[in-house]
């Protein structure tokens, strides 16, 4: 029996709550920022709410490629680079590891970060140019009606035209999260929140700039976030002398190959969401507006669980780098059970207080209020099932299991998308909406089977 205080191994989930606390504040800041922006613009009518929602749909596609695809890979690699053994690294990083004579972990982290920034710049500039040149066409492609697309085009041009700053912020955030520096990320996020709401309030209520003013406030806040995050990384000891500051083609190609199944998974999901939102608009602007309001209300308590996801990657990837596969299983199971249960309990509260929040902050229209209440109950089931799915998905991403994520997406998102296409405009609205929950459960079943059958572990373990 091991004596108390001597050689006691910490549980695999030790420290997670502390990291999640900071990550929760980060996600809460982002959610509250969107929530308050929606409040600022609510008095402009449903067209403004729908225009912001349409821009969010397009932005989701960018996030799918950048944050959920490329940054998911680089974040995992940063986490592995913090391990002692530096095991299971991909071939395109093995040469970097071998060439580093000392402080290999820091050399790898910097190499990953600088190349991640390079890809962010290219992607952000490409998307920004397209957004500035074709705002109305892109919004209509995302499902917005022509009148809404014309109205929201200036807002879209500013938000998506400056998306390169968001890409850079995502890259720096990914590295800091991989280093478990969640407190630093939170400091930057909360600073952005206060700048965003201050400038947004001035732009809408004082200067009467409307949608353009909110867009400019958001961009200014993100630029400040980039500056703060860069300063945080500089304090971590980043030095140009440790790595050669030029693009590594092997790294870029390797991360793209690893990221494309993850990108496809998110893009196929967002494509289904875009079709679903288009279905909502076909039932009237009030349906779309009520769904948007209900979603914003549920996202506030959900922020805690969204904040849990970035914490999963550094822990699991570090265990993977140290070949501690049993810790990965124990960690994921604990987070899955506790996280899903707590999510269900917390979100049920939104169903009861949501109508009051809607009346106080958004609208007192009775028909809109009733539809919002209906969506609140639907979103409770949607977000709880998605929380469980994301916990398993992030663990599998952190061990590089990309193909099973692709296969599960083909099965679930494919069936969901076909169903929306065939019956979306003619079927019962709530029945069609429930297909999202069904697709999530199907995907969850596939990923859980793969994870708990240990098919993600290297063959030399058995």
Q: What is the pLDDT of residues 311-324, one digit of tens each?
A: 788 888 888 888 88
Query: What rounded mean pLDDT belongs to the chain?
Result: 78
Cα 79 from chain centre? 18
The region that residue 144 occupies, defined by phi over 0 for left and psi between -120 and 50 for alpha, beta otherwise, is beta
The residue that leads in pLDDT, 54 or 334, is 334
Is residue 449 predicted with pLDDT exceeding 90? yes
Q: Which long-range contacts (CB under 8 A, 24 or more apart) does 438-441 make?
A: 439/272, 439/412, 439/413, 439/415, 440/382, 440/385, 440/386, 440/389, 440/412, 441/385
d(CA 25, CA 204): 26
| Distance (Å) of CA 19 to CA 109, 147, 297, 341, 439 | 20, 45, 24, 19, 31
| pLDDT (tens digit per residue) in 150-205 | 777 787 888 888 888 888 888 888 888 878 777 788 888 888 888 877 887 787 67
Is pTM beyond 0.75 here? no
Residue 362 has pLDDT above 50, yes or no: yes
Greatest pairwise CA separation for the chain in angstroms: 73
CA 24 from chain centre, in angstroms, equals 13
Region 355-378 average pLDDT: 74
pLDDT recorded at residue 450: 92
- Judged against a pLDDT cut of 60, whether residue 19 lies above it is answered with yes
Q: Give the pLDDT mean for 66-78.
A: 84
| Residue 429 or residue 91, greater confidence | 91
pLDDT value of position 2 = 35
pLDDT in tens, 194-249: 887 788 778 767 776 777 777 788 888 888 888 888 888 877 766 555 455 567 78
Give residue 242's pLDDT: 46
pLDDT single digits (tens) 348-360: 888 787 777 767 6
> pLDDT tens, 251-297?
888 888 888 888 888 888 877 877 787 777 777 767 777 777 787 78
- 374 has pLDDT over 60: yes
pLDDT of 461 reads 47
Are 328 and 268 in contact by the 8 Å Cβ rule? The answer is no
Q: Are 437 and 445 in contact (CB under 8 A)?
A: no
| pLDDT tens by residue, 104-155 | 777 888 888 888 888 888 888 888 888 888 877 777 776 666 776 777 778 7
User: Per-residue pLDDT for 300 more than 80?
Assistant: no
Residues 425-444 have pLDDT tens digits of 666 777 777 888 888 888 89
How does residue 13 score in pLDDT terms, banded at 50, 70 and 90?
Answer: low
d(CA 443, CA 268): 13
Mean pLDDT within 71-94: 81
Burial of 242 (0-12, 13-18, 19+ CB in 10 A): middle
Q: What per-residue confidence (pLDDT) applies to 414?
A: 83
Question: Smallest Cα–Cα separation from 228: which of 322, 165, 136?
Answer: 165
Is residue 270 within 8 Å of residue 61, measured between CB atoms?
yes
For the segment 50-70, the average pLDDT, to the nearest whole number, is: 76
């Amino acid at each position: 029996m091991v004596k108390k205080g001597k050689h006691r191994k910490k549980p695999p989930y030790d420290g997670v709550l502390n990291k999640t606390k900071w990550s929760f504040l980060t996600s809460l800041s982002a959610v509250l920022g969107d929530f308050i922006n929606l409040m600022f613009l609510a008095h402009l009518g449903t067209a403004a709410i729908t225009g912001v929602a349409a821009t969010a749909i397009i932005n989701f596609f960018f996030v799918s490629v950048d944050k959920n695809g490329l940054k998911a890979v680089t974040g995992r690699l940063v986490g592995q680079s913090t391990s002692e053994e530096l095991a299971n690294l991909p071939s395109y990083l093995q040469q970097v590891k071998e060439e580093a004579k000392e402080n290999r972990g820091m050399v790898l982290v910097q190499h990953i970060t600088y190349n991640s920034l390079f890809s962010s710049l290219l992607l952000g500039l490409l998307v920004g140019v397209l957004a500035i040149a074709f705002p109305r066409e892109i919004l209509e492609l995302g499902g917005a009606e022509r009148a809404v697309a014309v109205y929201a085009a200036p807002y879209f041009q500013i938000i998506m035209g400056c998306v390169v700053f968001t890409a850079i912020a995502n890259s720096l955030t990914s590295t800091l999260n991989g280093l478990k520096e969640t407190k630093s990320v939170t400091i930057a996020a909360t600073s952005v929140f206060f700048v965003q709401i201050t400038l947004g309030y001035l732009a809408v209520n004082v200067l009467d700039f409307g949608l353009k003013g909110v867009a400019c406030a958001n961009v200014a806040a993100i630029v400040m976030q980039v500056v703060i995050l860069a300063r945080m990384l500089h304090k971590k000891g980043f030095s140009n002398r440790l790595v050669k500051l030029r693009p590594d083609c092997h790294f870029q190609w390797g991360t793209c190959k690893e990221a494309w199944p993850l990108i496809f998974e998110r893009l196929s999901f967002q494509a289904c969401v875009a079709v679903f939102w288009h279905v909502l608009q076909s039932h009237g602007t009030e349906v779309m507006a009520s769904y948007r309001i209900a979603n914003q209300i549920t996202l506030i308590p959900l922020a805690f669980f969204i904040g849990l996801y970035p914490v999963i990657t550094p822990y699991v990837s570090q265990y993977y780098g140290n070949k501690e596969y049993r810790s990965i299983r124990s960690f994921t199971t604990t987070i899955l059970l506790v996280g899903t249960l707590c999510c269900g309990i917390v979100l049920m509260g939104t169903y009861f207080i949501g109508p009051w929040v809607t009346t106080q902050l958004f609208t007192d229209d009775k028909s809109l209020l009733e539809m919002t209440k209906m969506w609140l109950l639907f979103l409770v089931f949607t977000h709880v099932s998605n929380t469980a799915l994301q916990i398993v998905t992030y663990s599998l991403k952190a061990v590089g299991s990309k193909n099973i994520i692709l296969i599960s997406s083909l099965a679930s998102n494919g069936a969901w998308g076909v169903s929306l296409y065939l019956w979306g405009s003619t079927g019962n609205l709530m029945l069609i909406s429930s297909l999202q929950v069904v697709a999530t459960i199907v995907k969850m079943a596939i990923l859980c089977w793969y994870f708990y059958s240990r098919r993600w572990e290297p063959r030399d373990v058995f």
